[in-house]
């Protein structure tokens, strides 16, 4: 059973999860089913992380479960509100649409992912270079363990900046509300994969996709080691930036994570919202 979990975990989230989301949208079902889908995969991640953990210590709460829940709730609520506002935003854009609306929905989603990935990755990269952005982004780097759900743990202002960087080109191209809804689902599933504590098989895909075995290096607590692997969906932009890195011999533990020069970074939800402005 453990072998099967390790074998199918990646395709289950990457292909099956997004495939079901596309079916929901194509079938004209209520968008509420996308919320049910995402919730089901979050629950599944919790269960399977305990069945086949990369590090059992990452499954142990450090008083962060309630905090991470509020981060996820607030951030995903803003995502939904953002999608709902698309018609209003589009009304202010007078550019002719060049979005390929005639392509199958799965191809439109793939194009949206590749375009958004570049913008989000560059915003992420800038957040490690510009002090004001880093203060917001540091909230995410304060984690002391890697498990799927804390991929959703971000300061809402920093999430807004990354979202703006990824979505603006799509809006200017005339992307549809359906595709943006699917993109949100794809982002959540990817964040679950990227921060997952499941020791799933990756094979050569780890050199292309920004998944957990690669992203753990980004969370190393020293700037010298953690200044790598900024991609959300892929490592393509990292290759262009010369920031792609992977060492199969390195085993990353709890003591390796966090912010090296801020070991006592606030751990409560409200204190983390305030910390960047202190």
pLDDT band at residue 85 using 50, 70 and 90 as cut-offs: confident
Please give the average per-residue pLDDT across 143-170, as a whole number: 96
What is the reported pLDDT for 80? Answer: 87
Record the tokens describing residue 66, joined without a space.
Answer: 């309630």
CA–CA distance, 113 with 123 (Å, rounded to integer) = 15
What does the pLDDT average to over 267-275? 96
The pLDDT of residue 231 is: 98
pLDDT confidence band for 93 (50 / 70 / 90): confident
Q: Structure tokens of 195?
A: 């921060």
Q: Is the pLDDT of residue 66 over 90?
A: yes
Average pLDDT over residues 175-180: 96
- 194 pLDDT tier (thresholds 50, 70, 90): very high
Q: For residue 8, how many other CB atoms are within 10 A of its CB?
A: 15
Residue ranges in the chain assigned as alpha helix (H): 2-11, 18-26, 32-51, 65-84, 86-90, 105-127, 131-141, 156-173, 177-194, 212-215, 223-226, 236-241, 269-274
Chain segment 216-240, per-residue pLDDT in tens: 999 999 988 999 999 999 999 999 9
> In the prediction, which pLDDT does 190 show?
98
């Amino acid at each position: 059973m453990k072998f099967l979990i390790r074998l199918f975990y990646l395709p289950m989230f990457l292909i099956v999860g997004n495939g079901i989301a596309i079916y929901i949208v194509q079938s004209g079902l209520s968008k509420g089913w996308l919320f049910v889908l995402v919730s089901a995969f979050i629950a599944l991640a919790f269960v399977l992380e305990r069945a086949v953990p990369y590090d059992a210590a990452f499954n142990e709460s450090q008083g962060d479960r309630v905090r991470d829940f509020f981060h996820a709730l607030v951030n995903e609520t803003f995502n939904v509100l953002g999608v709902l506002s698309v018609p209003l935003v589009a009304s202010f854009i007078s550019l002719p649409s060049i979005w390929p609306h005639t392509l199958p929905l799965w191809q439109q989603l793939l194009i949206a992912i590749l375009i958004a990935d570049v913008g989000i990755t560059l915003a992420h990269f800038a957040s490690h270079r510009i002090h004001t952005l880093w203060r917001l982004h540091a909230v995410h780097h304060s984690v002391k363990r890697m498990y799927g759900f804390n991929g959703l743990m971000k300061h809402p202002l920093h999430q807004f900046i990354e979202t703006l960087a990824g979505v603006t080109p799509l809006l200017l191209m005339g992307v549809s509300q359906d595709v943006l809804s699917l993109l949100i689902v794809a982002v959540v599933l990817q964040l679950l994969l990227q921060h997952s504590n499941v020791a799933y098989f990756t094979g050569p895909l780890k050199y292309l996709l920004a998944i957990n075995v690669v992203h753990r290096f980004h969370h190393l607590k020293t700037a010298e080691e953690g200044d790598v692997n900024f991609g959300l969906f892929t490592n393509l932009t990292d290759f262009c930036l010369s920031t792609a890195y992977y060492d199969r011999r390195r085993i990353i533990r709890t003591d390796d994570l966090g912010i090296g020069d801020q070991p006592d970074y606030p751990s409560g939800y409200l204190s983390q919202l305030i910390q960047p402005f202190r």
